[in-house]
């Protein structure tokens, strides 16, 4: 017969060296390798916690927001700003290519050659006539359907949506969207119907299929020519918020809709089990914020910009598919994303284009935090006490770190400072002792590590004893 413990019990030392990002599930039911609240951190391939990369600003802010980011031939960055201008980055300044464009409609871009002399960057916003850049200037695309939006290229054609109609240009002819004489070079159109009458809100292309979305539906178009096009309904429950909230990475389509963060590989229905630990973020997106949510990728990670605290994006959820890790980033109002080679760019709600990289946010130190899940004894009726605790970090000169213990069940109130460190000279893998005796005889306990500047958290370790049931 097992009796309730009546004496203090010393447990083996606990050591965490591999961390797994944020988890918004029940904090009392998840592993200690997760954080219940994290900000501006990443997890590297070794499982260590590191400060997220910073950014630099390309030029000065233009207008009130960035309405679109495009990349021509993977060598030239383009942006449409809230002042109605289309500009390209010359490596030192933004050069204006077109003006007088709509000042609120967001843009979609794609590269395509077709019958042009060189690959062109095509852009659409559903209000202005489709434009294209040929390496020298931006021109109107004559012949494009009025109201064309979500422009994409697939199977040697340009594609666009007008309301609930999906249109394709003639074979390799960018300005012919009407010729239909009954052969496989014809232009083409179709109306993907749904019971609720929603209109198309996005087109996403990869090498084998064209995905057409609505707010709560998804279709897949296969084939290379009108004679073998096949439009299949993928889902009548999963769609996307807007044309910015889907992307393709390593043959997976990722999308955000009213029910969460989904992925789709083409063989079965879209699934969201992989994102269940962060569904709380997606459930808190504001109604107005749905139209501004965006997905982007740097080729390795996926960045989901969400409006949680208001109508403008204020939180970026970063997913690393390789290590299956999520993290929360703050301090970014990302509206647009673009990848060009090894560089990753963000267009924000302040009319700025940011280039990700470096150790500061355009010169400002990056504030970060890691809050653990609560520790308890075998029975939640027992008290616990941390007799010794230490963290092992790299802390470069100029960085700071504060460590806290928190006995509050919610982890919100009651932080007790138990240790500090300052990178007066570079600290390399140094254990920092924490004064854990400042918090005693509590039913649960969390640690919070927060700081400013670059940091690598290698290890958290502690000795814990369990008190008798009271």
Q: How many CB atoms lie within 10 A of CB 342?
A: 8
Cα distances (Å, whole numbers) of residue 451 to 23, 332, 410, 415 = 21, 18, 21, 14
Per-residue pLDDT of 218-234, as tens digits, reads 999 999 999 999 999 99
Q: Are strands 35-39 and 367-372 parallel, antiparallel or unpaired?
A: antiparallel
Q: What whole-number distance in Å separates Cα of residue 204 and Cα of residue 192?
A: 15
pLDDT > 60? residue 160: yes
Domains of the chain, each with CATH number or no CATH: 9-52+368-469 (2.60.120.260), 55-367 (2.130.10.10)
Write out the DSSP string of 375-417.
Answer: B--SSTTEEEEEEEEEEEEEE-TT-EEEEEEE--SSSSS--EE
Joined together, the tokens standing for residue 413 give 């109130």
Q: How many CB atoms lie within 10 A of CB 263?
A: 18
Q: What pLDDT score was predicted for residue 203?
A: 97
The tally of CA atoms less than 13 A away on the side-chain side of residue 285 is 28
Joined together, the tokens standing for residue 253 give 């389509």
Of the given ranges (71-80, 288-297, 414-423), which has the lowest mean pLDDT?
A: 414-423
Residues 6+ apart with CB under 8 A from 64: 82, 83, 349, 350, 351
Percent of all residues in the chain with a pLDDT value above 70, rounded to a whole number: 97
Q: What pLDDT score was predicted for residue 128?
A: 98
Handedness of CA 423, 424, 429, 433 (dihedral sign): negative
Higher model confidence: residue 103 or residue 436? 103
Percent of all residues in the chain with a pLDDT value above 90, rounded to a whole number: 77
Going by pLDDT thresholds of 50, 70 and 90, the confidence category of residue 54 is very high
Judged by phi (left if over 0) then psi (alpha if -120 to 50, else beta), residue 362 lies in left
Q: How many residues does the structure list for the chain?
A: 470
Write out the DSSP string of 292-303.
Answer: T-EEEE-SS-EE
In DSSP terms, 255 is beta-bridged to 246, 262
Q: What whole-number distance in Å separates Cα of residue 47 and Cα of residue 281?
A: 23
Joined together, the tokens standing for residue 37 give 């609240």
Tell me which residue of 134, 135, 213 sits closest to 175, measured CA to CA: 134
Higher model confidence: residue 267 or residue 371? 371
In DSSP terms, 395 is beta-bridged to 427
Q: What whole-number distance in Å separates Cα of residue 281 and Cα of residue 303?
A: 13
Q: What whole-number distance in Å separates Cα of residue 400 and Cα of residue 391?
A: 14
Q: What mean pLDDT do residues 326-349 have?
A: 97
Q: What pLDDT score was predicted for residue 381?
A: 76
pLDDT > 90? residue 464: no
The tally of CA atoms less than 13 A away on the side-chain side of residue 351 is 16
**For the chain, what is the mean pLDDT?**
92
Cα distances (Å, whole numbers) of residue 56 to 53, 209, 396, 452 = 10, 36, 20, 18
Cβ contact 307:313 at 8 Å: yes
Per-residue pLDDT of 98-154, as tens digits, reads 999 999 999 999 999 999 999 999 999 999 999 999 999 999 999 999 999 999 999
In DSSP terms, 285 is beta-bridged to none
pLDDT > 80? residue 76: yes
């Amino acid at each position: 017969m097992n009796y309730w413990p009546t004496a203090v019990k010393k447990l083996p030392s606990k050591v965490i060296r591999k961390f797994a990002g944020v988890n918004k599930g029940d904090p009392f039911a998840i592993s200690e390798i997760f954080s219940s609240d994290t900000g501006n951190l990443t997890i590297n391939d070794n499982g260590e916690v590191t400060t997220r990369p910073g950014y630099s600003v390309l030029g000065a802010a233009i207008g009130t927001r960035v309405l679109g980011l495009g990349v021509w031939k993977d060598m030239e960055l383009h942006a449409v700003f809230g002042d109605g201008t289309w500009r390209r980055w010359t490596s030192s300044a933004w050069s204006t290519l077109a003006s007088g464009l709509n000042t609120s409609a967001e843009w979609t871009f794609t590269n395509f050659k077709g019958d042009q002399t060189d690959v062109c960057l095509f852009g659409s916003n559903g209000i202005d006539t489709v434009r294209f850049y040929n390496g020298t200037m931006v021109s109107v695309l004559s012949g494009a359907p009025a109201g064309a939006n979500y422009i994409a290229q697939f199977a040697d054609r340009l594609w666009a949506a007008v309301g609930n109609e999906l249109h394709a240009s003639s074979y390799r002819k960018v300005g012919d969207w009407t010729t239909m004489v009954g052969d496989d070079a014809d232009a083409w159109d179709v109306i993907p119907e749904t019971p609720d009458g929603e209109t198309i809100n996005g087109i996403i292309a990869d090498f084998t299929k064209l995905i057409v979305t609505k707010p709560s539906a998804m279709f897949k178009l296969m084939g290379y020519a009108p004679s073998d096009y096949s439009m299949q309904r993928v889902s009548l429950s999963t769609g996307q918020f807007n044309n910015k909230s889907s992307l393709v990475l390593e043959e997976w389509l990722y999308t955000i809709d009213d029910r969460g963060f989904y992925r789709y590989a083409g063989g079965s229905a879209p699934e969201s089990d992989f994102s269940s630990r962060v569904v709380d973020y997606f459930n808190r997106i504001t109604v107005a914020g749905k139209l501004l949510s965006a997905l982007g990728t740097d080729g390795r990670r996926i960045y989901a910009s969400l409006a949680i605290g208001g109508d403008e994006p204020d939180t970026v959820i970063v997913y690393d598919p390789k290590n299956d890790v999520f993290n929360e980033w703050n301090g970014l109002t990302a509206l647009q994303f673009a990848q060009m080679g090894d560089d990753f760019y963000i267009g924000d709600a302040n009319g700025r284009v940011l280039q990700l990289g470096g150790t500061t946010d355009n010169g400002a130190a990056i504030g970060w935090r890691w809050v653990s899940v609560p520790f308890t004894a075998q029975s939640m009726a027992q008290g616990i006490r941390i007799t010794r605790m230490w963290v092992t970090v790299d802390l470069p000169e100029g960085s700071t770190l504060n460590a806290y213990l928190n006995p509050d069940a919610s982890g919100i109130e009651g932080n007790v400072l138990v240790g500090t460190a300052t990178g007066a000279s570079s600290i390399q893998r140094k254990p920092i002792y924490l004064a854990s005796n400042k918090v005693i005889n509590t039913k649960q306990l969390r640690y919070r590590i927060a700081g400013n500047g670059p940091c690598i958290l290698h290890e958290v370790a502690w000795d814990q004893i369990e008190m008798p049931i009271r």
